[in-house]
Amino acid sequence: MTIAIAAILIATVVGLLIYMFKQKPATTAQQLIQLGRYEEAVQAAANDPLHRAEALKLLGRFEEAIDAYRQSDDPAAREGVALSLAHLNRNLDEAQKLMEEQITLFPQIQEFQALGLAYILLRAGKRDEAMRIFRDNVELLETRFRDDYTDPDPLLAETLFMYAELSGDASLRAKAAAWAPGSVWAGARASRPQSPGVPPGDSRPIAQ
């Protein structure tokens, strides 16, 4: 009787392990993004619109990213739509409204959202307002990158790029490229001109 019970338990455990390994994907979309395999991440995220949108944005496919963000019920999707519109330089009033709503609803990481809002305003030609918001939050952003976000992360490369646009610090474009190789932010280092009217040294750079 004891041997029979033990055999049943072993068979059950083995069966569960086999089932679990079959169900578990080799890599998730988020893991693929971290590995810099953005095209594969788009495919892997067929049922994950948020990470599909993030992968598409890393590829510079902003129109498709907006469509994917709008299919997601994640609170971060609103911010994704706003920034994608800003990168396209389109519907900037809508982008500003979406980002302002995001700041009101989720103030916990307001410095990042404020950076996004400042970038949107800069794209809209509202430089004075953009720089005021940027300067009000630059110290918190520096602290974040110095103390909390020190490991290279493709999902933070966009933040570095926006920081570079507002600060005029070209080294941050290089850092964004290093954090997300093969992404739109890597190409932006060489191809995207510095934002007009934002002189280098207008604010302090992120701690390297």
Res. 18: pLDDT tops 60: no
pLDDT of residue 119: 97
Give residue-wise pLDDT tens across range 29-78. Answer: 999 999 999 999 999 999 999 999 999 999 999 999 999 999 999 989 99
pLDDT of residue 72: 95
Are 114 and 148 contacting, i.e. CB atoms less than 8 angstroms apart? no
Q: How many other C-beta atoms are found inside a 10 Å radius of the C-beta of residue 92?
A: 18
Are 129 and 110 contacting, i.e. CB atoms less than 8 angstroms apart? no
3 or 31: which leads in pLDDT: 31
Q: What is d(CA 100, CA 82) in angstroms, rounded to the nearest whole number?
A: 10
Are 58 and 180 contacting, i.e. CB atoms less than 8 angstroms apart? yes
Give residue-wise pLDDT tens across range 113-155. Answer: 999 999 999 999 999 999 999 999 988 888 888 888 888 999 9
Residue type, 72: S
Cβ neighbours of residue 31 closer than 8 Å, sequence gap 6 or more: none
In three-state secondary structure terms, 70 is helix
Give Rg (Cα) of the chain: 21
pTM of the model: 0.77
113 or 17: which leads in pLDDT: 113
Res. 2: pLDDT tops 70: no
CB burial string 127-147: b at 16+ within 10 A, e below: beebbebbeebbeebbebbee
State the DSSP code for 154: G
17 or 172: which leads in pLDDT: 172
Q: What is d(CA 121, CA 127) in angstroms, rounded to the nearest whole number?
A: 7
